[in-house]
Amino acid sequence: MRHGKKINHLGRKTAHRKAMLANMACSLIEHKRINTTVAKAKALKQFVEPLITKSKAENNLTKEKGTHNRRIVFKSLRDKDAITELFSVVSEKIGDRPGGYTRIIKLGNRLGDNADMAMIELVDFNELYNADKPKKKTTRRSRRGGGAAKTETPPVAVAEEAVESQTNEEVVSDDSEE
């Protein structure tokens, strides 16, 4: 039974695991996608998503100050270049996303030891998936149909209006002759 075991130890001591996750997170932020095993990808997802949320808080100008968030993230990542990239490029791109910043795509098995491999990537930086999808509107629509798209008048109705206007003109011209 695995009661109360929230993290996957990945077969490593604590210091080795923390260093490995920090290095993988820095690589993910720098390259926007990396290939690794499924277990490491799942552990990395839990490690890096709170850090991305911290970086997003600075750009939204919430109560927390930016320097404090940078120091908290630096405690986990320990790489100034990755933190600069995270707080500038990545946080601007994912500014309106409410969570779920990473995606894990399973790739199959590794040839050497048959380990399950996966690619973990930052969601907003994948141009293949995001190219054809327009941004969703965040405004709410009513259920009454008031927000439905208006259609143009059908050609039959336009023809009927033209006939009515011609008959009205004939009536007016008949009155002027008398």
Tens digit of each residue's pLDDT (9 = 90 or more) over 28-83: 999 999 999 999 999 999 999 999 999 987 665 555 567 999 999 999 999 999 99
In what order do the strands lie in the sheet containing 116-122? 33-37, 116-122, 102-109
Higher-confidence position of 81 and 154: 81
Between CA 62 and CA 52 the distance in angstroms is 15
Higher-confidence position of 122 and 151: 122
**Mean pLDDT, all residues of the chain:** 82
- How far, in Å, are 33, 99, 108, 151 from residue 122 at the CA level? 6, 11, 20, 40
In this prediction, residue 139 has a pLDDT band, given cuts at 50, 70 and 90, of low
